[in-house]
Structure 1
């Protein structure tokens, strides 16, 4: 029996204030005043894990999440049982070759860039993507097929968002803050390859181009894959003709048609495979 003469500390033990701060999820997650701390934790978690893996530099791949893998496209075509569904599946099928080019690019960079082997405890030119489906999946898949690690920087979204099955599990991250995710995508980037995409891809591309144009980051090679697409959706020449950018700004990037051409263009712009770095 409880001794009525002895004070009971049950309420004190159960009070939110008594929870260790590091174990108080509600306090850490829901207080506006701790946003800076949450921001720092997102930075350090990914940074420390990448350091543990020896990831010194990355090759970033951006592109649409809506471009299907060939097997998914074939399944969608087979399942289409209305004219509308058939038209949608056929439109998606027209993009499949970009999936295959991104897949080939991821494999080629991983085989030749230095991601396969640690050199003095470091890996260079590791494929890194936004971690989702479509072009991101394709690049991670190519790296996976080469037997190399690759990175997926996922973001928490209102809708269901899951990582693709090909990024290395230990290097598959999830961020709450877009800004921190973008920072991690950029901070180790030795090069950037951008495949066709929508608003998100344009946002990522132009942020990198702006950082380079304004010299806020070290200049890194940039390549856009898909001449027909890029020349159709963006009139780069009109930007220079209008005087809103300098003609030299168009020299920040190349536009090519294949994953192999993209890898060659990045090397022509100064990207060094790890084997060449060792000989310096």
Structure 2
């Protein structure tokens, strides 16, 4: 899947990657591309989500099922309510997300404020997402700050 592809890309380029896995009876084992000392197993979804939100500087969501939606909406709710620091949220594949989530309807019915639609950004390619992250944090796009540095600190 997408997570394994990300871990594999980091592995093949000599980088490190983290794996925040959930223990489920019907799911596969952690993929072999995760840096061994950065492979964590969680028993509870809430703790897993807390850890990835604590460490992330952005959230990138690909089309997915209930787990993806759970993680996306938890992050949106925490950012919207100020319970965690803001970070950009990138949704890959606008066609998928527009069919699934009608943000304008949520605004029109008063369920979210008009500014809440700006919590998400749509992207179509990895290059577009990376360029947006580089611009968001004024990074040198040719380098990566290992571990997120100052950007990954929750305040």
Scaled by the length of structure 2, the TM-score of the pair is 0.85
Q: Which runs of 5+ in 1 are unaligned?
A: 1-133
Structure 1 residue 237 and structure 2 residue 104: aligned? Answer: yes
Q: Which runs of 5+ in 2 are unaligned?
A: 150-155
Which residue among 262, 268, 274 is the counterpart of 2:129?
262
Q: What pairs up with 1:1-280 in 2 under 5 angstroms?
A: 134-270=1-137, 272=139, 273-274=144-145
| Distance (Å, rounded) in 2 between the aligned partners of 1:226 and 1:193 | 11
| Distance (Å, rounded) in 2 between the aligned partners of 1:226 and 1:274 | 27
Q: What does the per-residue CA deviation read over 1:238-265, in whole Å, with 9 as the maximum and x for residues that have no partner? A: 1111111011001112101011111112
Scaled by the length of structure 1, the TM-score of the pair is 0.49
The higher radius of gyration belongs to: 1
Task: For residue 268 of structure 1, report the CA deviation from its aligned partner.
Answer: 2.6
Task: For residue 267 of structure 1, report the CA deviation from its aligned partner.
Answer: 2.5
| Distance (Å, rounded) in 1 between the aligned partners of 2:58 and 2:6 | 14
Task: For residue 160 of structure 1, report the CA deviation from its aligned partner.
Answer: 4.1
Secondary structure of residue in 2 paired with 1:170? helix
| Distance (Å, rounded) in 2 between the aligned partners of 1:218 and 1:192 | 12
Q: What does the per-residue CA deviation read over 1:70-114, in whole Å, with 9 as the maximum and x for residues that have no partner? A: xxxxxxxxxxxxxxxxxxxxxxxxxxxxxxxxxxxxxxxxxxxxx
| Distance (Å, rounded) in 2 between the aligned partners of 1:262 and 1:204 | 19
Q: What does the per-residue CA deviation read over 1:35-86, in whole Å, with 9 as the maximum and x for residues that have no partner? A: xxxxxxxxxxxxxxxxxxxxxxxxxxxxxxxxxxxxxxxxxxxxxxxxxxxx
| Distance (Å, rounded) in 2 between the aligned partners of 1:271 and 1:152 | 26
Task: For residue 161 of structure 1, report the CA deviation from its aligned partner.
Answer: 2.9
How many residue pairs get aligned? The number is: 144
| Distance (Å, rounded) in 1 between the aligned partners of 2:62 and 2:27 | 23
Q: Runs of 4 or more off by more than 6 Å in structure 1? A: none
Task: For residue 173 of structure 1, report the CA deviation from its aligned partner.
Answer: 1.2
Alignment RMSD, CA only? 1.9
